[in-house]
Amino acid sequence: MSSREQILGKIKRVAKADSPLPDIPDFEFSGEIKERFVKSIQGNKGEVIDVAGLEVFLKSNGFSKIISLAKGLEQLSTRTLPENPHELADLEVAIIQGQFGVAENGSIWLTDADLGLRALPFITEHLVIVLSEASLVSNMHEAYKRIGEQHSGFGLFIAGPSKTADIEQSLVIGAHGAKSLRVVLD
Amino acid sequence: MSHPIKAQEFLSDPAKAKWHDETLWFVRDKRDAITKTIPEWEQLRDLASQIKDNVLANLDSYLVEFEQKAKANNIHVHWAVDSEEHNQIVLGILRQHDCKAIVKSKSILTEECHLNPFLEKNGVEVVDTDLGERIVQFLNQPPSHIVLPAIHLKKRDISEIFHEKLQTEKGNEDPTYLTQAARVHLREKFLSAKVAITGVNFGIAETGEFVVCTNEGNADMGVHLADVHIACMGIEKIIPRRKNLGVFLRILARSATGQPVTNYNSHFRSPAPGKEIHIILVDNGRTDQLAREKFKNSLKCIRCGACMNTCPIYRRSGGFSYGSVVPGPIGSILSPGLDLKKYSSLPFASTLCGSCSDVCPVKINIHEQLYEWRQEITKAQGSNAKSISMKIANGIFSTPFAYKISGEMLRGALKILPEAITYSGLNTWGKQRDLPEVPKESFKDWYKKNRK
Ligand code: SF4
């Protein structure tokens, strides 16, 4: 007997009372969605800026290795997306378009279609996500409603920069992935 | 070795023990604070619990659905009845790809299967990439907490081991500096690994996708750079529908660390072009636990660690005192199912205060199961001291065995702590009380002598 059959057989032999799958109600959201989203991002140690702020960020740091996939901001790229993600190792800034944001926790939904390469938002030193204000939803239930039946090989909620508190619970930003997250809300 | 004896070891450094206690309590406080900002918090716990009940009642059909969908998405699905088979499957995939070095993100299941020593014996270098896990790996230790693997260590310990392994400046204990050094070291490992292993937080039957949550982004750094992703998943990690994630992602990080969500929540549905994803569905005692009516609810656990942070015994005895892969209250109800004899002291490592059940986001009746295990263990030991238990009018220590080991623990702890310390490491019931004198003989011994 295969392991599969063995495991499934053992589960089947256990007498189990039925237990219905509950419906998930619509939970009310009090407060202003945009304000809450901005607060959430800040709480996660990200920053919310506008397009002018983005230009200042890029210029003042003199970044020269930039890939921008965000709609209307493609001209900010200084290089094209490679085929091999290892070639992203020295990337300074990735600018991508987010599909929607979630007010309660600052999560932003991205899929293969937005990322170009799955490694992009992780391997880059700094991450910028462009998001339309109209895309914001209140909570994670609304978020999954919005995702619905969408079929992507990879989907991702990003809510902040890479962080850790594994050394004496001291928060450090920039563990393995992006050292900063900026959200351009327009 | 039993829990009380190991707890004594932990308490031999009272300052560190105090820090451990207070730090975990601080995490518990953060959890409380954030849950109070969600008016529907209790409703979410109910929903999560009901969804998991439904999973346990239909586990076989959800697993079949998951397998079918995952295969349709070009994911390779493997089944493992035990840790041995799991490890062999991993090794087989590595050999197929001629891979001698892997990166691995946090997976309690692979700890449970002792995958690292197995692979190392077979000539594979394993690099744990979660910062806390890398630290304990350098020290040849297991994690002492399922969410905060290095919580038993102070920054001076970490600074020392990093100086030795990563050539950081001697005596530099700055967490930012040390993290940066680990970043540089691990970056190189990420860029050179052909195979990356991750755990799984949730597998979704409806879509065949699975979700991995991290704050560091280490799971993603590994898998997106490697050619092959192996995901190791306990069969109880299945949830029915994608929309159920809305409930679980709202409660997981809030319960774990008091943050609204983990910074990276990755949904893997099919491999990127030219790459491979393997998922291994592991039983390793889970179906046995499912068959134990009183204990099957322990399989609802989403491994948030909240029951550890809140537990007065865990906080004051450290994760290693449990001697099991999953420590703390949940570990104390999972482990006896794996080896009743080896873990017989664990269900007694509790005051039965019920704080674990109060914080558990999926509403596992942890403290009731601890009590149930005590009955099982006492039965298994064929207790002849039953009469004593009936005469000890003490609701906290409800079995003679428990009474015996708890007493040993207290007397031991009191002996090692200097009298002047007002902080009593095991004085769970009132931190600021003076230490009582250590009785020369236990009540039990006294009772034995005087009962005639
Ligand atoms: S038993 Fe509950 S509180 Fe403890 S780790 Fe599991 S889900 Fe979290």
Residues of B in contact with A178 (CB under 8 A): 217
Residue nearest to atom 2 of ligand 1 (CA): B360
pLDDT at B409 over 60: no
CB B108 within 8 A of CB B324: no
- B residues 201-240 closer than 8 Å to A (CB): 209, 215-218, 220-221, 224-225, 235, 240
Ligand 1 centre from B131 Cα, in Å? 22
pLDDT digits (tens, 9 = 90+) for A22-74: 999 999 888 899 999 999 999 999 999 999 999 999 999 999 999 999 999 99
Q: In the structure, what pLDDT confidence band is assigned to residue B441 with cuts at 50, 70 and 90?
A: low
Rounded mean pLDDT, B427-451:
52
Q: Which pLDDT score, from 0 to 100, does residue B450 have?
A: 62
Q: Do B175 and A167 touch (CB under 8 A)?
A: yes
Cα separation, B443 vs B247, in Å, equals 49
Q: Do B250 and A8 touch (CB under 8 A)?
A: no
- A residues 103-162 closer than 8 Å to B (CB): 104-107, 112, 117-119, 122-123, 139-141, 143-145, 147, 151-162
The 3-state DSSP class for residue B217 equals coil
Which of B309-323, B348-362, B402-416 is predicted least confidently? B402-416
Count of alpha carbons within 13 angstroms of residue B406, beta-carbon side: 20
Q: Which pLDDT score, from 0 to 100, does residue A30 have?
A: 85
Rounded mean pLDDT, B221-227:
98
Residue nearest to atom 3 of ligand 1 (CA): B360
Cα separation, B3 vs B406, in Å, equals 10
Give A66's strand partners.
A93
B228, amino acid identity: V
Give A131's strand partners.
A185
Closest CA to B77 of B214, B196, B194, B210: B210
A-to-B residue pairs, Cβ atoms closer than 8 angstroms? 236
Residue in B with minimal Cα distance to A26: B40
Residue in A with minimal Cα distance to B264: A158
Cα separation, A62 vs A56, in Å, equals 10
pLDDT at B281 over 50: yes
CB B197 within 8 A of CB B246: no
- Mutation probe of ligand 1 site: the residue of B247, B325, B362 with most atoms within 8 A of C-beta: B362
Q: Which CATH class is domain A31-185?
A: alpha beta
User: Which of B58, B224, B265 has its CB closest to that of A118?
Assistant: B224
Q: Which atom of ligand 1 is nearest to the CA of B298?
A: 1
Q: Which pLDDT score, from 0 to 100, does residue B417 have?
A: 43
CB B428 within 8 A of CB B313: yes
Give A173's strand partners.
A163
Residues of A in contact with B216 (CB under 8 A): 162-164, 175-177
Enumerate residues 6+ apart whose C-beta is below 8 A from B352.
B367, B370, B371, B396, B398
With residue B62 as reference, give the H or E element that holds it. helix B59-72
- A residues 36-95 closer than 8 Å to B (CB): 40, 43-44, 85-86, 89
Q: Which pLDDT score, from 0 to 100, does residue A16 have?
A: 84
C-alpha torsion sign, points A165, A170, A176, A178: positive
With residue B395 as reference, give the H or E element that holds it. none
Q: Do A159 and B265 touch (CB under 8 A)?
A: yes
With residue A123 as reference, give the H or E element that holds it. helix A120-123
With residue A110 as reference, give the H or E element that holds it. strand A108-111
- Mutation probe of ligand 1 site: the residue of B330, B333, B363, B369 with most atoms within 8 A of C-beta: B330
Cα separation, B96 vs B276, in Å, equals 12
Ligand 1 centre from B361 Cα, in Å? 7
Ligand 1 centre from A84 Cα, in Å? 40
- Mutation probe of ligand 1 site: the residue of B53, B108, B326, B360 with most atoms within 8 A of C-beta: B360
CB B98 within 8 A of CB B91: no
Q: Do A17 and B187 touch (CB under 8 A)?
A: no
Cα separation, A99 vs A104, in Å, equals 16
Q: Which pLDDT score, from 0 to 100, does residue B394 have?
A: 36
The 3-state DSSP class for residue B239 equals strand
Token pair 């690292």 is at which residue? B116
Do the strands B210-214 and B264-268 form a parallel or antiparallel pair, or are they unpaired?
antiparallel
pLDDT at B429 over 80: no
Kindly list the domain boundaries of chain B, sorted by start residue: 38-284, 385-450
pLDDT at B96 over 70: yes
Q: Which pLDDT score, from 0 to 100, does residue B94 have?
A: 98
> What is the DSSP track for B420-450?
T----TT-TT-TTSPPPPPPSS-HHHHHHHH
Give A48's strand partners.
A183
Residues of B in contact with A41 (CB under 8 A): none
pLDDT at B438 over 50: yes
Q: Which atom of ligand 1 is nearest to the CA of B329?
A: 4
Residues of B in contact with A8 (CB under 8 A): 60, 63-64
Cα separation, A98 vs A115, in Å, equals 9
Residue in B with minimal Cα distance to A17: B57
Cα separation, B277 vs A111, in Å, equals 17
Rounded mean pLDDT, B98-102:
96
Mean pLDDT of all residues belonging to chain B:
88
Q: Which pLDDT score, from 0 to 100, does residue A15 have?
A: 85
Percentage of residues of chain B with pLDDT beyond 70:
84
Residues of B in contact with A7 (CB under 8 A): 63, 79, 81, 235, 281, 283, 287
- Neighbour count for residue B102 (Cβ, 10 Å): 27
Kindly list the domain boundaries of chain A, sorted by start residue: 31-185
pLDDT at B284 over 90: yes
Residues composing chain B: 452
Q: Which CATH class is domain B38-284?
A: alpha beta
Enumerate residues 6+ apart whose C-beta is below 8 A from B163.
B169, B170, B171, B172
Residue bearing the bigger pLDDT, B437 or B5: B5
Rounded mean pLDDT, A2-14:
97
pLDDT at B319 over 90: yes
Q: Which pLDDT score, from 0 to 100, does residue B380 have?
A: 83
Q: Do B260 and A143 touch (CB under 8 A)?
A: no
Closest CA to B232 of B201, B268, B195, B271: B201
pLDDT digits (tens, 9 = 90+) for B109-147: 999 999 999 999 999 999 999 999 999 999 999 999 999
Q: Do A24 and B243 touch (CB under 8 A)?
A: yes
User: Which of B26, B27, B59 has its CB closest to that of A11?
Assistant: B59
- B183: contact with A, CB 8 A cutoff: yes
Best mutation target among B261, B262, B284 (most A Cβ atoms within 10 Å) is B261
pLDDT digits (tens, 9 = 90+) for B15-72: 999 999 999 999 999 999 999 999 999 999 999 999 999 999 999 999 999 999 999 9
